[in-house]
Amino acid sequence: MLPDTFKLPRRAMAIFAHPDDVDFGASGTLAAWADRGVHITYCLVTSGQKGTHDATMSATKLARIREREQMAAGAVVGAKEFVFLRRQDGETEVSMRLRGEVCKAIRIHRPDVVLTQDPWRAYQLHPDHRVAGWSGLDGVIAARDHLFFPEQLKRGLTQHRVTRVYLFGTSDPNIWFDITGTLDRKIKAISSHTSQVADPVRLAERMRAFAASNGRVWGLEAAEAFRAIELA
């Protein structure tokens, strides 16, 4: 349930490191928004090319499989568009080039709200999660003024102002969304990443317990927790 006072964005973009990150972190919330007409775009920094223990699997083949899985998961949630930046899994770096690509995706898809991974999360070990978060935030700042990446504006794009950011995978949340009505879809979305799921029953149990622990503080059956940052 969303409170009446909550102003839904018209368009939202999730920027994240690997296929499945958004499904663990934010898909229950995004499914509820999609049901209310929010246009949702996913921007993936890598295609999860190294996420396998199968010695016969190649990175190129796995990238294709995982992009398809992310699109299937996105269809469950109601995401409409997918941007694949195709950086190498596990090898991402914060760079002006990556910032420019994220900035361009924001200028093309024009989200009011951006969701990305919390790069300040304490003890965040995975470099790609940190890089996706920094690039998402830095891309938001770059997108809004015409002197950042001006070459993009010569090709018909215009600058674009995101008004709010939600960080997921955060250890310091300040907003919680009730996902009681969309938890089953969240679990279905996560389960769409079949190359990554060894035990779907155990995964569903884990996700229900995680959602319940997020909701407990507000007496909700199931929730997702975010750090919201206002930019307007």
Minimum gap (Å) between residue 196 Cβ and Zn ion? 10
Nearer to Zn ion, 38 or 132 (CB): 132
Minimum gap (Å) between residue 18 Cβ and Zn ion? 4
Minimum gap (Å) between residue 74 Cβ and Zn ion? 16
Nearer to Zn ion, 107 or 130 (CB): 130
81: which 2 tokens? 């568009």
Nearer to Zn ion, 91 or 145 (CB): 91
Nearer to Zn ion, 147 or 198 (CB): 198
The beta strands (E) that lie in the chain are given as 11-16, 39-46, 81-87, 113-117, 164-168, 175-178, 223-230
DSSP string of 52-66, one letter each residue: ---TT--HHHHHHHH
Minimum gap (Å) between residue 92 Cβ and Zn ion? 11
Helix, strand, coil abundance in the chain, percent, nearest 5: 40, 20, 40
**Interatomic CA distance for residues 168 and 188, integer angstroms:** 19
**Interatomic CA distance for residues 209 and 212, integer angstroms:** 5
Minimum gap (Å) between residue 2 Cβ and Zn ion? 27
Nearer to Zn ion, 38 or 115 (CB): 115
Site for Zn ion, rule CB under 5 A? 17-18, 21
Q: Which residue is nearest to Zn ion, using beta carbons?
A: 18
User: Packing angle between helix 27-35 and helix 59-77, nearest 10 degrees?
Assistant: 50
Minimum gap (Å) between residue 51 Cβ and Zn ion? 8
Nearer to Zn ion, 50 or 80 (CB): 50
The conformation of residue 71, written as its DSSP 8-state character, comes to H
**Interatomic CA distance for residues 20 and 188, integer angstroms:** 11
